[in-house]
Amino acid sequence: MRLVLVGPPGAGKGTQAEFIAEHFAIPKISTGDIFRSNVSGGTELGRLAKKYMDAGDLVPDEVTNAMVRDRLAQDDAVEGFLLDGFPRNVLQARELDGIMASLDRSLSVVLDLEVDHDEVVRRLSGRRTCKQCGHVWHVEYDPTTRPDVCDKCGGALYHRDDDYPDTVRHRLEVYSAQTSPLVQFYDGRGQLVSIDALGTVEDVTERAIAALA
C-alpha cells in the first residue's frame, strides 16, 4: 500500500498514521517529524527549515522534495509507505508523481481526514509532543499519567512553538490556500477517500481501516 494522508493541521494525521502504518506494516514517513528531528539535531537541513516552521510557513519545495525523494528511495519504502504531511501543495503532488514514476510505482490511495475548524483549534492548542520519541498527546483528549512526561518513553513533553494561537491561525491559512486544493486534485483522479475524523481516536482508526480495506 502506498498511501498519502491529507487534512488540516490538527486533523489527527500523525495520530492515525501510527495505527494505520502498523496495521498495514508499512513505514510511516512524516515530513514534519523529519524536519523537527533535524531542528533538534542541529543539522544543516534543520537550520534551513527552522525559520519557515516557526513562522508556520511551508519549507521551500526544493528542500522538502529532495528530502522526500531520498527517503522514498530507501529499502523499507519499496513495498509501501504512508506519507504524513507530504505533499502539501500541487507542485509537491506533481513531484510525488515524478518520484513514483521514476521508481516504477504509483500511489494506491489518498486518505483525507475531515474535521471542522473549531475542533482543529482545540486539538492543536492542547497538543503536547514528546521531545524524545515524537509521540503526540493532548492535555484533555489524551492526557499522560504524569504531567509533561511521555507514557511511552519517559521523555519530556513540550508545546510546539508553532502550536500557539497566532501561528496556528497562519498555518490554517496556509492549509486552505496551498494544501486544500489537493483534495480536488486527487478527487479528480479518483484517488481520494474522505472520512469523518471527528470522534475518538479509536473510532477514526476504525473508519480509516474500513475505508482502506
Helix (H, G, I), strand (E, B) or coil at 21: helix
- Which position among 13, 28, 36, 71 bears the catalytic label? 13
Q: Is 171 in the site for ligand ADP (CB under 6 A)?
A: yes
Q: Is 81 in the site for ligand ADP (CB under 6 A)?
A: no
DSSP characters over 24-54: HT--EEEHHHHHHHHHHHT-HHHHHHHHHHH
Q: Cell numbers at residue 7, please?
A: 487534512
| CA–CA separation, 51 and 206 (whole Å) | 37
Check if 127 is active-site.
yes
Of the residues 3, 10, 111, 186, which one makes contact with ligand ADP according to CB under 6 A = 10
Of the residues 2, 28, 71, 88, which one makes contact with ligand ADP according to CB under 6 A = 88
Which residue, among 57, 139, 197, 189, has the nearest Cα to 147 in the 3D structure? 139
Binding site for ligand ADP (CB under 6 A): 7, 9-15, 31-32, 35-36, 39-40, 52-53, 56-59, 64, 85-86, 88, 92, 123, 126-127, 131, 136-138, 141-142, 156, 158, 161-162, 171, 199-201, 204
Which residues carry out catalysis?
A: 13, 88, 127, 160, 171
